[in-house]
């Protein structure tokens, strides 16, 4: 169950990163809804990480949390055309994903 919580917490990391980007997208003025989504998702993501760390080693839990977050955040940025999906970027993100899976297998 801790691994499921950790993966959801990692996914919420991508949510808060996207919400933070959208919060200040208009000429430096904060937008309310993305700011609320940011605050809720960053709180839930961090809480999920804390819960998972009770039964998963700290380094492994943190690496998986960050890895899931970075892969999903980058995928979102590519889908929304904020970043270009270059071959090098996709290959490196696949490497991060493989490392996250490896940590799960070895833990």
Q: Give the integer Cα–Cα distance in Å for 62 and 78.
A: 24
What does each C-alpha distance from 83 to 54, 86, 90, 105 come to in angstroms? 36, 9, 11, 31
pLDDT digits (tens, 9 = 90+) for 14-45: 999 999 888 877 676 778 898 999 999 999 99
pTM: 0.84
Q: How much is the average pLDDT of 52-71?
A: 92
Per-residue pLDDT, 28: 65
Cα end-to-end span (Å), the chain = 14
Q: Are 74 and 93 a contacting pair, CB within 8 Å?
A: yes
Per-residue pLDDT, 77: 92
pLDDT digits (tens, 9 = 90+) for 71-104: 999 999 999 998 999 999 999 999 998 988 888 7
């Amino acid at each position: 169950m801790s691994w499921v919580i950790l993966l959801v917490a990692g996914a919420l990391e991508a949510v808060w990163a996207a919400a933070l980007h959208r919060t200040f997208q208009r000429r430096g003025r904060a937008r309310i809804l993305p700011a609320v989504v940011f605050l809720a998702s960053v709180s839930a993501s961090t809480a999920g990480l804390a819960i998972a760390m009770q039964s998963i080693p700290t380094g492994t839990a943190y690496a998986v949390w960050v890895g899931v977050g970075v892969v999903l955040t980058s995928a979102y940025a590519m889908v929304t055309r904020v970043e270009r999906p270059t071959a090098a970027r996709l290959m490196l993100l696949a490497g991060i994903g493989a490392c996250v899976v490896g940590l799960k297998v070895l833990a």
